[in-house]
Amino acid sequence: MQANGGGSRGASNGGEDSVNFRLSPSSDLRIQKGDITRWSVDGSSDAIVNPANERMLGGGGADGAVHRTAGPELRAACYNVREVRPGVRCPTGEARITPGFRLPASHVIHTVGPIYDVANNPEALLRSAYRNSLRVAKENGIQYIAFPAISCGIFGYPFDEAATVAISTVREFANDFQEVHFVLFADDIYNVWLDKANELLQDE
């Protein structure tokens, strides 16, 4: 995909503006501004990724917004996920899946990104969060998946570094999904992601 001028632009469900990049002959990457809780494609084989905490019971930012929109059924489903140790249902870098309940998307994939200044190897953990989310999606027949910018809120991950990890990891799954979306609420994160996609995908 070429730099800025090569991406195809248009409106997209859940987003104000979107730019499309080709990952493979059968798969597209779409970067868009918008609210991930409003995103869906077909309501049956689509999933949004929730940047959760290890307890999986809701929190601030996008995590709280996902839980509010999905309704109390989501918290109940998360509560029923088996703890791997007391208070931890999804360790950092791993992923779990639940129904979407009142969300437009059919499923929610919960993953926990690293806290940048605390984790010993934040890049490896962030890559694992994306990779495991994609693996869980593939195992559950998801064809359309939407990510936020994992760890780029209060977890403090630098946007440029996070975008590199996110987009390069998505490329590993270029033949496994029809569409992979990044639905980004803030203009500054959207612009970093778009620049990084132009840089990393210009030869696709």
Q: In this predicted structure, what is the pLDDT of residue 11?
A: 42
Contacts of 39 (CB under 8 A, 6+ apart): 13, 14, 15, 46, 48, 104, 105, 146, 181, 183
Q: In this predicted structure, what is the pLDDT of residue 6?
A: 43
Q: In this predicted structure, what is the pLDDT of residue 204?
A: 56
**Identified catalytic residue from 28, 46, 63, 176:** 63
Walk along the chain (204 residues) in steps of 10 and give the mean pLDDT of each run: 44 70 96 97 98 96 97 98 98 98 98 97 98 98 98 97 98 97 97 97 72
* Residue 12: C-alpha distances to residues 8, 26, 57, 69, 109 (Å): 12, 19, 29, 19, 21
Q: In this predicted structure, what is the pLDDT of residue 17?
A: 83
Domain ranges of the chain: 30-200
Q: In this predicted structure, what is the pLDDT of residue 202?
A: 78
With CA atoms as reference, report the closest residue to 165 among 152, 153, 154: 152
Tell me how far apart the alpha carbons of residues 179 and 26 are, in angstroms, rounded to a whole number: 9
The CATH architecture that domain 30-200 belongs to is 3-Layer(aba) Sandwich (3.40)
pTM greater than 0.85:
yes
Q: In this predicted structure, what is the pLDDT of residue 4?
A: 36
With CA atoms as reference, report the closest residue to 134 among 97, 160, 161: 97
Q: Amino acid identity of 32?
A: Q
Q: Is 17 a known active-site residue?
A: no
Q: In this predicted structure, what is the pLDDT of residue 1?
A: 36
